[in-house]
Amino acid sequence: MTPSARPALLAAGLLGSVHAAFSLYWGLGGTWLVRTLGNRMVDAFAGWEWLLVQNCGRTTVVGPAGSSYGRSSTTSCDDRRMDVELSALAINVAIPEDLRWRDSRRDEEFELQSLTIRMLPDGSLAAKAYGKPVAGGRGAYTSFPVPDRPELAALVSAAAAEAARRWGAHS
């Protein structure tokens, strides 16, 4: 270790130790800091205008209004219904081992292990498969068509339904 690196290493170690101590404190259910320092922080920022983002019953403090964090606005649950043009909806899905297949590109054989499924603007789904070279190594990031097999169509459909369920539960 060079002498000039020692202070940086010590500082990193000290910060890591402080981080670990706070993590342990919060993990054990510590509340003293919230009751003491937290109240002082609230008092210190009293009177400041804060940008509060409402998301259907949840309020998130983003930062002081007028700061570089954003602009002040009012929102409601009805804002979710505004016209929004999505440029992409995509999910990545692992292909179960019993459904995997092999394909070749430029004299290199790949085992296809994942699907990228996109929802197109018309609402239909498009899927491409990606994998790793059978011979090992990283290989090129190359897409392959998904064969027209009922079990793969079922995987795409199930993955899309699960993604819709998760997005729908997100608030």
Task: Supply the pTM of this predicted model.
Answer: 0.51
Helix (H, G, I), strand (E, B) or coil at 14: helix
The pLDDT, as a whole number, for residue 96 is 96
Count of beta carbons in the 10 Å neighbourhood of residue 118: 13
- Sign of the torsion angle spanned by Cα atoms 55, 82, 165, 125: negative
Please state, in angstroms and rounded to a whole number, the distance separating the CA atoms of residues 115 and 128. Answer: 6
The pLDDT, as a whole number, for residue 27 is 65
The token pair that represents 132 in the structure block = 């790793």
The pLDDT, as a whole number, for residue 39 is 59
Domain limits of the chain? 1-45, 47-84, 90-169
The pLDDT, as a whole number, for residue 142 is 83
pLDDT-flagged residues of the chain (< 70):
1, 22, 24-81, 171
